[in-house]
Structures are given as structure tokens and as C-alpha cells.
Structure 1
């Protein structure tokens, strides 16, 4: 492999000023757009020896055939130019956003003569004020239904309003009391504008002064015995209270903020946004981000905020899980969107109510990412495409309708276990999962060799043995059925790891004499797929269904192994420590938490054991003596 790419510019040619750079392929297509405070320092990271680059970065720079840059005056200008170019060129290696344009908003058309409230997905209505987004259209409609009872503003279409004003007859919604615009004849254009301003003010912060005013007016009307007016103010008060009740109080009253939580893995990220106005959640949305390059949380936050506030004014405070490197420039860029003299602060909550809300949002983001993966897995077309792509990428004769994946788990070399998970037709077959216990091993590769030797022996025995007659007893029939399932040969055998693990698996496969099985390993850090007898990995596209399926079966094997290892560890610890007088469950828990395993506890002396909460010198000495014996 060459040390670097041939189009690498000389170091002296790259300026040290801030700017934006573009990687292009041979056809001139922009592959990646990035910004830098120092172009020379940033671009030098891409032109290291290729073997030192992250696999995804290496794929990007080797796909490209040239790099260009544009110097700008300030870091803020580089942020603006990067944003513009990403929108213009849609580079495949930049972060991809999905589902962001499907959310409905409540819009008030302040640019109209008589503003109306409406449900829309269009974010480009001139002069409109937006609230939301809302997770469902019915949620917007419910809010509007409640709000127009308290603030009766126009809801009819522009054509209906124009026709009503020309004819002098109210629009149909106005005739049934569903539209409070000037065409109804109940208010003037100026009075309607004042009601619209109150509508917007309440939605901006849930101002409780409207509740106080409605309560006072209701009581005053009742004292005057104007019961019709009192009933009107009562209905308005109930509508206001209903809107406030539908919005959960999460922060102090008067706090306006947007909170973003991010949950991500090697392939994708889930974003959960809570829109808090007046201390209450006024809207929320969740969307999925496809990761092409390896980005940390701070870099993801940078891209997320740029996309989230496209054509939308940010609030004064934005809460994120991690700060990007260019947080100061990002704050200035967002402040320009708010308007002259208005600031934006980006913060990471550390404690209190904001941290608690971030934890809730993070939980939602994690669930959304899990749901996203489940939906992809349940899509028959996607599964079929994934199996076909795996067949092509690995050079298999047929699609891997049965795949087995193996992973090893241990605790500091003790309690070594392994897992085998099975996917058929792209779906997990949990009834055919298996667990292995390894008595002694030098490392993970030796453990894999042992496990696969034991597993492949069943295939060899099944191939050599004559056809068995089923046992007539129920128990025997179940055992025979279990053995037959365990003897099904996979088309693809996957191990968790890179070249060393694949080599160990190949050694077991060669010694078994079983043929017709393709062997592969997936290395978690770079997500590359290694084949036996190959010096270079197979690089699957980051957004491909094939990589998604291989990653999912690897993660399932890891989960299954970890669960088994923890179960064994808990059982071993309980059996060893329960025999020591004076050790109850709570003290056992503290010892485990402090030392991590019985093996480490055995190495400790009485003084070290006595440092554990709840363990005195006498009990520590007893524990040391018992374990030593």
C-alpha cells in the first residue's frame, strides 16, 4: 500500500488561515466538505501514511482524486461556507439526515393581512411564525383546537377568506364558529391582529398572565350577573389550562431552550430534540443520522445544530451532550440567525433539572436507535438485499441463508465463555443459540479455536455418521431434534475480531475437514470485514444493508456472550463468598464492586480488603484466611 495518495499537495502550498476544503473524485463530484481554523494543520491529518488512517477516512481519501480549499476571513465565515456547500453539493461522506422533513408544524402566517393558524410541513412561508415540530399531525390539530377556543383567530384558507371579504358572508368555518377572522364580522382586522399577537405570545412561553386575566374577567362578569360573558371567559380559561396541562413542566418557568440528545454507534446516530418554551416541552422530534466517517459526539452535535436550524430561529439556550470544538464560532453563527444583539449559548448540562431532562432525552434517543435497527431488520426487501450484497462482497457461491457468529467474553482472563448465535434468512433463530464454557485458555484466539473445534466436530460427526432413527420417547425426540439443529452447516461463519481471530478460526476449520463454509471476521473499531488468507479487508459501504446485518449479528453474539459471562460470574461469586461468616448480600456486592472478581479478591491482603465499605479489620482477616485456604 502506498504511503499516501498521489494528489497530496505540498505542505507549503496549504495556507494556515481558516477556510473550507472539498475532496473531489475524478468526475468532479464533491465527496466531502469540511472546515478548519488552520487548513494546513487539518489537511495534514488526511495525508498521513494510509495505514495510519481510520478505515473510513482512508476510503474517502483514496476515492478522491483532488482536494481544493477556500480561505476565508474568520472562523464564522468558514462555518457559513461549509453549511452552504454541504447543502449545495450533498457530499456522500458528510453526515446524512433522514426524516427531518416529515414533522408537522403549527404556523401562524404573520405576513398576511389577517394571519391564520394552520398545520404545515412547509418551512418557507414568508413571514410565518412556526411552533413545533410535533410528533404527529393529530397532536398539532388538538393544540390548535384548544388554542382557538382561547384565542379565536382565523383558520380558513386564503381563498375562502378572500371570497368571504368580497361577498360579506362569513366563511364556512366562521359560520359554525370555527374561525374567528375578520370575515366573521365579529372583529376588525386590527382587533384580530391583537388576538394573534396574544396567541403567539402564549405559545412562545405559556404566559400565565392570560390565565390570570381570564380568571379575573370571569369573576367580574359573574359579579355583574353577565353570565353569558362569564361562560365565555370560563371556556377560554379551561382551554388555556388544557394547553398548559398538555405541556409538561420540565424546567423553571420562563426558561426557553432546545435540548438535543445523541445516541450513536459505528453506523448511525439517533437524535432526540426537546423544544422547551416557558419551562414546558412545546414540541419534540427524533431523526436518524447516517454516519459515513468516524465522528465523535461533539462533531455530530456540530452537524446536527447546523441542520436543525435551517430556516429556523434558534432559542437563547441550546443544551447538548458534548460541546463541539468550534463552539464559540457556532454560537456566533446561530446568534446571527436570531438577529442583531441577540445571543445564543450552547451548554452541556452537568447536574440538576437540565441534566435530568438530558437523561430522559438520551433514553428516548437510545430507544429510537434500537427501533430504527429493528425496522431495518424486519424489512424483507432490505434483508434480501443484505444477503445478496454479502454474497457478492465475500465472493460466495450462494447467499448465506444461515449465518453463525461467535464471540468470547471473560473477566480479566477468568470465567471465559463464548457464544454462538444463528441468523437464518436474515433473522435471529434464538432457539438455536448456544453457550460454551472454556476451562482454560491463553487468549481470545485460543478460546475461539477451542469453541470452533467443538462446534465443527458436530458437523463432521453428522456428515460421517449413518442416519439415526428417532427416539420414540418425548425427551429423546427433543434431544434428537436439538442435535439435528446444531448439526446444520452455516454458509457463513463470522467471528468477532480481525486477522488474528480469523486465523484461529481457519485453523479450526482446516483441522475439522468440513468444507463449503465461508469464514469472515468483523473488527469492531473500524467495522471492516476480514477474510481468511487476505491481507486487506473487505470494506462495505457504511450505509449498506449488508454491513448493517453483519454488525447486528456481531452485536447479538456479543450481547449473548456477555449475558452468559455475567451469569456465571454472579453464580461463582455467590458460591465462594456465601460460605464466609459475616458476609451478607450487601457486603458481597461492595466487595465485587471494589475488586471486580473473586480472583482479584484472592490476591488482596487484609489491609486492602478492609478498605471496602462495611468491611472491618476482623472480617477482612477472615475473608483473606478463607480465600487463601
Structure 2
């Protein structure tokens, strides 16, 4: 624990202007980001008597080792910069809104050549329009099935779409008129995109014009005595109306609004939001957050930053209804207006239908908080108990807040890879996961690690692979630590303004380097041989502040370096459960990477070996010629016609393919002995 007075800035150094500040720990990691109208007033409040601070704030300032700030011209800029830094650094002590469950969205991939409608979860992708979230995936599929009668757009995967184009026949939806079949050219790219845009317009709430348009077409068809077409249009109108009925009408004036409500206790708060478009509830979403010492207006401000910070202009509604206004609601409203490109009304509803809807959303938040407290109580206790058990059993000086686990994966020596997974505070931190391609762990009687030897499978030494991976990981850590020491010396000489923390931050991206932070505990998958090999790496590198254990699969024994007998944890031990989760996650991550490389190796072509020919140009080349065989038969002039390929690269491609064709072993008909083309 650091003494906050050791890094407290002098009062005269801190400006009284608005700005954004960052606290860093001893390793240089950003642990908290905040904004203030007056940096001097806000930062001074952190360096008062420690006993007067909130427990979590006290932990933050004692964990920190330095503080830095950036002055901005106004509070709107401070909001934007604070959101950018929180998203970039994911600080440990900032408020984190966790979704209380995974919500499905109806997504339209407008960034693709032929947009596709599908159900998606997880992080939002660029170039995709999202509608929802919905409570259940089946509700999306029912709505989509109804709307495909009127908006027959593509819903198939890329593989199905490509295969239909190759055989010249659409899938079933194309035959029953629920897809316009762009795969076989029934509609052009522009026509299909127009259908997708109309679909998005309808889902965004502009429903009336489509119903009126179909009604007019139905009347025209009936007047022309085309009763079959009129009946089809009548059914289409019915499909639109049934789709609209699935969304509850809550506001009669076609309001576009997001309605937020909050339920809280001393420790946590649950937030719910109803997304209302065209007066109908189009989606619902919920979050849970640890309150600490933050007031409800501050929680609302951070919530709106998280919800709208990464949204496209279409995702910000005309009205944002909240239970209480943030302290700087005017600046927050300006920020939202800038995101939307039009006026956004941020307010608290006082009466009428909107107030009644707010009460409904609040009741949902209260129920969500009650469910979360029941589920979360055991989880928090279990994680704390697991870390405490590991500390006591392994005789560690502190609880292992950061644990890294390593695993090696291969099949008979081919595509040897390894994984590193990271758990912080007992939970996975997937942004810190790393993958390794192992190249130097082949046995004496084996061949190369990327292929089998001529006389049998490659022999791979798992302990050698583990040595290689740990050496690479901790050598990078030592390099970063050495660089930080050099910067610290330069800082004392007045040659560096960033201080020693700068070494752990990549100057190009502004993000932490890959291996900048050491773990408290390293777990390897294996028994005593693997543990001793790992300990030898740490000893060679002179690392003595990182604990090490191995977890053997057969009896789930915990091996400690230098001990002849394993540590046996009870089968009901929370510490053992945590180690098992680490080992299983590392194994899953390694297997996934191994399968990806194996699949890529099986589908790779000679084009992958041409220097200077990246994935984009390779794709353009195949799209232009259709196959590698046709590329091989093309001249340099024909290759230069492909967009993005210049004379030098065209010459390289032509020369490489010609040389490959001369050295290739010809195919022979085994019956006649004839050489085949």
C-alpha cells in the first residue's frame, strides 16, 4: 500500500480549470479516470485524511502511485475525453455497468454487399444496424418471419449464400417468396439494398407509410380486378399489423424515447431501460453496478455515457427520460445532441403516460436488483474465499489478485501453440488473454513443428514448449521493467515528462503493452516436471516475486516447485474450483487457437506464400480471376488489372506461381500412367 502523500502534487501545480485526471498504480496501469469542473478542487479531495475517505476511494488512493491530468476547454469536452479513456483503459475502480443477462438484437449487416438480417448478441459491430434488445431470440425470429413477406431480404449465412450462387438455385426461402434471392441474380445489389433500407426504416418506427403504401396498392389491384395480387397485399398488411402488435403500444403520440429507472441499496444499484420507438416498446435492457460512494445523479451520468458513447446517431432518441437529472445535465444534453446531430431532450417526466411508464420501468429495476442480490451473494463470497484459501495454502504474502495460467496444445507435433489466460479478482479478464505459436519444442527424432516427419509423427517436448512460452512472456516483462527504470532515471534528470509509467503504455496506441504487468501467481497445466521446468525459467530470469504452481489432471493435485509431494486441496475447496476454472479456460483457449491454425493450414494455397500479397489483395485477386489456376495462367499485364496490384507485385506473383508450377509433382493416372493436367 502506497502513502498518498508520497505522490500528492503540489497545490500550485494543479490548475483550477476543467479537465480529466487519471490515477496510475506502481506498475503504470490506469486504475481510475474522472473529470472535474475544477481539477484543483477535485484532486485535493483525494489527498485529505485517509480515514475520512470512503473505503473504496481509500483503497484506490493507496493503490495508486501517481496522478496526471489533462486540461480541456469546457465540460462537454471533459465528458468526451472521460468516456474515451474509460473505454480505452478499463480502469479497475471506475463504475462498471454489467448487463444482468445477454440480450439478443435483430441486426442488419448494412456494411455487407448484400445486407443480411440475423439475431446477434455481444459487442456491436461496425456497419451493422441493431434493433432491440429483445427479451428472447424466438421473439426476434417470429417478428422477422412475419416481415419477410413484405421485405424479402437475405437471412442466410455467407456459406449458404455462396453455395446457392454456385449451383444457380436459391434456398427454400427464395422459392416461397420470403427472400428476393440476390444470390442467383433475381434482384440487383441496389434493389436488395433498397429492401434492406425499407426494413430498417420500418423497424426504426416509421411504420405508417408502409401500411398506407400497401393499402393503396391493394386498392389499385382490386380496381384493376387483379384479385390475386390484392389478396396477397392484404395478407402482407396483416403480417405488418401482427408484427406491430408484438410490440406493446405505451405512448400514443409516436414518441421516440429511452426511459431509464433505477433501484438501489447501500451497496448496489440496478438500472432498467425501455427503448420506445414510434410509441412502442422496441427493447428492454438492464445493468447492475456497485455504488460505492457515488450519488444517484453521478450514476445516471456514467450510465448515459456508457449507453450512448459508442452509439451511431440513429441509436440516440429524441427524448431521454431519467429518474433524476445529473449535476451537469445541461452539458450532458449538449453532448447527446452532438452525438445525434439533432436536439435531444434530457429530462425527468413529471406526469401523464411517460411518468406511468417510468414507474413501470422502476418496478422492473426493483425486481432485477432482488434477483441479482440472491445470485450475487454466493458468487462474491465464493471468489473472496477462493483467493483467501490459495493465499493460505500456498503461503503467499498477499491474495493472488492476478493469476495467469498457461497450456500447450498440438496433435502429434503439428501446429504447436500455447495459451495464456488471466483472472483478476477471481474473474476472467479476456482482454489480457494471449496466444503463442511455439517453434522450438521439437524432439530429437522429430521434424518441423508445422508438419510431420517423413518417418512418423513429430515428437514434441511439452516441458520445452512450456519453457519457451514462459521465457517469452517474462522476458517481455523484464524488458518493460528495465525500460521503466530507464525512464525513471531520465525523469530525475529532467529528460522525460511521462515518468516511469510511460514504459508500460504503447506510445502508438496509448494502451498497456502486452506483457506489461506481472502476475501474483502462475499456474501451469501439468505435474512436477512442468512445474520444475517453469521454475527454472523464472530462476534463469531472476524473477523471485511471482509464485508458481501446477495442476495435474488425473487427481487434481497442486504441485509446488521443489516439493516431492503435492498439496491436496479438498474436493469442496473454492480455491481448487478456481484453479480448475483457470486450467479449463487455458485448455479451451489453446484448443481453439490450435483448431484455427490447423483449419487455416488445410485451406491455405500457394497465394499465402507470396511476399507482399496480403489478405485484401489476395481476395481481390481471386474475385477477379475466380481460382488459383486462372491466376497461374494469367500474364503480368492481366494481373496488373486487379485493383491494388502494381507492376512490382504483379511480377512477383507471376514469377512465384510459374516457379511453383515447374517444381510441382505432376498428377498421374494410376491406370494408364498418363500425366494429368
Q: Same fold (TM over 0.5)?
A: yes
Q: Residues 240-279 of structure 1: matches in 2 within 5 Å?
A: 240-279=240-279
1:426 match = none
Pick the aligned partner of 1:315 from 314, 317, 324.
317
1:123–1:311 CA contact under 8 A, matched in 2:
no
Question: In the alignment, does 2:306 pair up with 1:304?
Answer: no
Q: Residues 128-527 of structure 1: matches in 2 within 5 Å?
A: 128-165=128-165, 167-183=167-183, 186-291=186-291, 293-313=292-312, 314-339=316-341, 342-377=342-377, 379=378
2:102–2:122 CA contact under 8 A, matched in 1:
no
How many angstroms does 1:43 deviate by?
Answer: 1.3
1:114–1:181 CA contact under 8 A, matched in 2:
no
Q: C-alpha deviations, 1:291-335, integer Å up to 9, x for none? A: 3x3111111111111111243231222111111123233223333
Q: 1:311 to 1:101 in 2, by over 3 A?
A: farther
**Which ranges of structure 1 fall in alignment gaps of 5 or more residues?**
394-544, 546-629
Structure 2 Cα separation of the partners of residues 117 and 187 of structure 1: 17
How many angstroms does 1:240 deviate by?
Answer: 0.7
Q: 1:30 to 1:90 in 2, by over 3 A?
A: same
Q: Secondary structure at the match of 1:65?
A: strand
How many angstroms does 1:24 deviate by?
Answer: 2.1
1:17–1:71 CA contact under 8 A, matched in 2:
yes
Structure 2 Cα separation of the partners of residues 78 and 288 of structure 1: 25
1:263–1:271 CA contact under 8 A, matched in 2:
yes
How many angstroms does 1:64 deviate by?
Answer: 2.1
Q: Secondary structure at the match of 2:148?
A: helix
Structure 1 Cα separation of the partners of residues 126 and 101 of structure 2: 18
2:262–2:269 CA contact under 8 A, matched in 1:
yes
TM-score, normalised relative to structure 2: 0.53
How many angstroms does 1:8 deviate by?
Answer: 2.3
Q: 1:286 to 1:10 in 2, by over 3 A?
A: same
Q: Secondary structure at the match of 1:96?
A: coil
How many angstroms does 1:203 deviate by?
Answer: 1.0
Structure 2 Cα separation of the partners of residues 186 and 225 of structure 1: 27
TM-score, normalised relative to structure 1: 0.57
Structure 2 Cα separation of the partners of residues 235 and 383 of structure 1: 57
Structure 2 Cα separation of the partners of residues 163 and 389 of structure 1: 52
2:33–2:86 CA contact under 8 A, matched in 1:
yes
How many angstroms does 1:152 deviate by?
Answer: 1.5
Structure 2 Cα separation of the partners of residues 121 and 310 of structure 1: 19
1:408 match = none
2:532 match = none
1:174–1:183 CA contact under 8 A, matched in 2:
no
Structure 2 Cα separation of the partners of residues 218 and 157 of structure 1: 33
Q: 1:35 to 1:176 in 2, by over 3 A?
A: same
Question: In the alignment, does 2:44 pair up with 1:32?
Answer: no
Q: 1:336 to 1:158 in 2, by over 3 A?
A: farther
How many angstroms does 1:62 deviate by?
Answer: 2.6
2:502 match = none
Q: Secondary structure at the match of 2:261?
A: strand
* Cα-Cα RMSD: 3.0
Structure 1 Cα separation of the partners of residues 387 and 167 of structure 2: 65
Count of residue pairs brought into register by the alignment: 390
Q: 1:148 to 1:388 in 2, by over 3 A?
A: closer
How many angstroms does 1:387 deviate by?
Answer: 6.8
1:79 match = 79
Q: 1:93 to 1:384 in 2, by over 3 A?
A: closer
Q: Secondary structure at the match of 2:108?
A: strand
2:4–2:64 CA contact under 8 A, matched in 1:
no
1:101–1:121 CA contact under 8 A, matched in 2:
no
1:174–1:184 CA contact under 8 A, matched in 2:
no
How many angstroms does 1:162 deviate by?
Answer: 3.7
Q: Which has the larger radius of gyration?
A: 1
How many angstroms does 1:244 deviate by?
Answer: 1.2
How many angstroms does 1:151 deviate by?
Answer: 1.6
Q: Which moved more, 1:9-18 or 1:24-33?
A: 24-33
Structure 2 Cα separation of the partners of residues 353 and 176 of structure 1: 42
How many angstroms does 1:124 deviate by?
Answer: 4.4
Moved beyond 6 Å, runs of 4+:
386-393
Structure 2 Cα separation of the partners of residues 122 and 385 of structure 1: 25
Structure 2 Cα separation of the partners of residues 159 and 125 of structure 1: 20
Q: Secondary structure at the match of 2:368?
A: helix
2:106–2:130 CA contact under 8 A, matched in 1:
yes
Q: 1:62 to 1:382 in 2, by over 3 A?
A: closer
